[in-house]
Amino acid sequence: MTGKSVFEIIGPAMIGPSSSHTAGALRIGRAAGLVLAEKPVRAEVVLYGSFAKTYRGHGTDRALAAGLLGMNTDDDRIKEALAAAAREGLDIVFKTEPSGAVHPNTAAIALTGVSGRSVFVEGSSVGGGNVVITRVNQFMVNIRGVYPTLLVEHRDRPGVIGRVTTVLGQRGINIASMNVARKQKGADNLMVIETDEPVTEDVQIQVAAAPEVIQIIRLNSF
């Protein structure tokens, strides 16, 4: 029998009304903000399934806005997050679609930052405030936010993975799990590395300096 964490059993400290539609949605928004890694100015959010049907009544729209602004699940400001987003210069557009092949509580976020940089993040709220991030930009992933996570986009060349993991080992960071999202041989790849300890900015800079690394994204907490 596989054990569960306290978080998985009782869920996060949160502002309601729903762990799936509020806390989970907020965490998806936070993940998108971390992937962007700069002040967001424009978000186009597509809601699927149950999110699409009940997002206003269950506060999913406010929760996503709160997450994009970097709020936590127990922040009293969640209820006013849409107004806060407008004050911060973040324009959010919500659209709805049938579920199709995705999980019924899914949000897809196209997010643009103040520099003009754009990212795409898709995730599903799977109950009790737990989430699965299923797509980051063009890569299909499976990120649950249980461990600090490092995303390393790199060119498909021999030795790149070894160089990155060597840097982490030399800095005393233990890898809990790792997989590589690969579209095809020779194309750009994405390492998804879960670690026991958060990766600090100085370690991120050292990893980014490795040959063939394109960019680094830290998801230390969402």
In a domain, 1, yes or no: no
Task: Determine contact, residues 217/143, Cβ cutoff 8 Å.
Answer: no
186: which residues sit within 8 A by CB, 6+ positions away?
156
Report the alpha-carbon distance of residue 204 to residue 200 in Å, rounded: 6
Instruction: Give the pLDDT of residue 56.
Output: 87
Identify the domain boundary among 143, 159, 187: 143
The CA angle 94-96-102, to the nearest 5 degrees, is: 120
Identify the domain boundary among 97, 126, 143: 143
For the chain, what is the mean pLDDT?
89
pLDDT in tens, 53-90: 888 888 899 999 999 999 998 899 999 999 999 999 99
Report the alpha-carbon distance of residue 178 to residue 143 in Å, rounded: 11
Q: What percent of the chain has pLDDT over 70?
A: 90
- Predicted confidence band of residue 21 (pLDDT cuts 50, 70, 90): low
- Predicted confidence band of residue 37 (pLDDT cuts 50, 70, 90): very high
Identify the domain boundary among 100, 123, 143: 143
Instruction: Give the pLDDT of residue 101.
Output: 66
105, pLDDT greater than 80: yes
Question: How many domains does the chain contain in total?
Answer: 2
The strand pair at 40-48 and 91-97 is best described as parallel
How much is the pTM? 0.87
